[in-house]
């Protein structure tokens, strides 16, 4: 099996986010923008997995009160549990390159936990390309106006930061340790004005590697190359988490929640192109695409065409 054998997993969940619409993203990728067919046209062997591993109603966005600092926690957790159970089933024959189509970014702990098990015995790393650092804790959402959604807490649960949800601790390395630590992770492209002071303190005191939006804007290829080299020297395999809210919503408003201090589309895709050329990058998760923001489909199609070009460049590298 070669690294160009690709299985596309559809995880159409919006249970852990702000608004409805993200459950439509896998269909927009596969049936409207022809992602699988376009990958096949450049020589990839592609299998798409129909999302049968959790009940549809579980994955839907619903209005929900904050309970213990989190909205819709049980449904969001059930999606993660079903996803993880499916992906780690012993009968699953895994191709070398999985692409996970979300859905909101709260799926990443379940996906990365599964990825580490597929590569058990190897050091797994994470490139976290996202408009936010996602270090919110449930205890920090009591203020009026705080969202209390699970996708704002992804990095808190990946790092098993003190104060995170106990339920999320099942998503771990094979040895039971946290999925993410300062030696296997790079945060890439987030707005440095977004994290709270306390979140910056956490990143700095724990020595996390980060390339913030202004640095990436100034030199997207250079920053991506440095981020990749740093991570490649520490791990054996890498998963790329690509949250489209890293892209400026003023010019490319595809993300579920708008970010007006993001990267230009071309800057983001230049970095993606660098990352996907690496033979150590062996998985991709794409999150926060909301087709409700793209009624004519041109943004999803542009994103798909750019991703396919990056895979073509990977083949030719």
Q: Report whether 174 contacts 116 (CB < 8 A).
A: yes
Please indicate whether residue 101 or residue 93 has the higher confidence score (pLDDT): 101
What's the predicted TM-score (pTM) here?
Answer: 0.95
Q: Report whether 290 contacts 21 (CB < 8 A).
A: yes
Calpha distance 310→274 (Å, rounded) = 8
> Looking at residue 292, which CATH number applies to its domain?
3.40.800.10
> Mean pLDDT over all residues of the chain?
92
224: exposed, middle or buried (Cβ count in 10 Å: 0-12, 13-18, 19+) = buried
Into how many domains does the chain fold? Answer: 1
pLDDT surpassing 70 at residue 93: no
Q: Which domain holds residue 175?
A: 5-316
Mean of pLDDT values over 42-55: 76
The predicted pLDDT at position 54 comes to 62
pLDDT digits (tens, 9 = 90+) for 197-256: 999 999 999 999 999 999 999 999 999 999 999 999 999 999 999 999 999 999 999 999
């Amino acid at each position: 099996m070669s690294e160009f054998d690709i299985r596309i997993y559809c995880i159409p969940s919006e249970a852990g986010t702000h608004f409805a619409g993200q459950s439509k993203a896998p269909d927009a990728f596969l049936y409207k923008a022809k992602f699988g067919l376009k990958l096949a046209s450049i020589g990839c062997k592609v299998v798409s997995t129909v999302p049968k591993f959790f009940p549809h109603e579980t994955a839907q966005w619903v209005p929900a009160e904050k309970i213990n600092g989190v909205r819709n926690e049980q449904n969001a957790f059930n999606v993660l549990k079903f996803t993880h159970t499916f992906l780690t089933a012993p009968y699953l024959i895994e191709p070398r390159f999985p692409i996970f189509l979300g859905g909101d970014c709260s799926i990443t702990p379940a996906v990365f936990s599964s990825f580490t098990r597929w590569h058990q015995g190897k050091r797994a790393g994470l490139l976290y390309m996202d408009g936010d650092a996602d270090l919110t804790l449930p205890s920090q959402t009591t203020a009026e106006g705080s969202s209390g959604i699970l996708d704002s807490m992804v990095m808190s649960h990946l790092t098993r930061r003190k104060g995170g949800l106990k339920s999320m601790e099942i998503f771990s390395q094979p040895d039971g340790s946290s999925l993410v630590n300062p030696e296997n992770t790079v945060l890439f492209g987030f707005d440095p004005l977004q994290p709270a002071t306390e979140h910056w303190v956490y990143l700095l005191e724990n020595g996390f590697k980060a390339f913030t939006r202004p640095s990436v804007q100034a030199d997207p290829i250079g920053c991506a190359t440095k981020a990749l080299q740093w991570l490649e020297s520490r791990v054996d395999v890498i998963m790329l988490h690509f949250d489209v809210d890293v892209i400026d919503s003023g010019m490319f408003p595809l993300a579920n929640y708008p970010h007006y201090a993001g990267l230009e589309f071309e800057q983001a895709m230049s970095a993606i192109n660098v990352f996907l050329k690496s033979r150590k990058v062996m998985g991709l998760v794409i999150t926060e695409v909301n087709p409700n923001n793209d009624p004519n489909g041109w943004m999803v199609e542009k994103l798909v065409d750019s991703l396919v070009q990056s895979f073509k460049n990977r083949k030719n590298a």
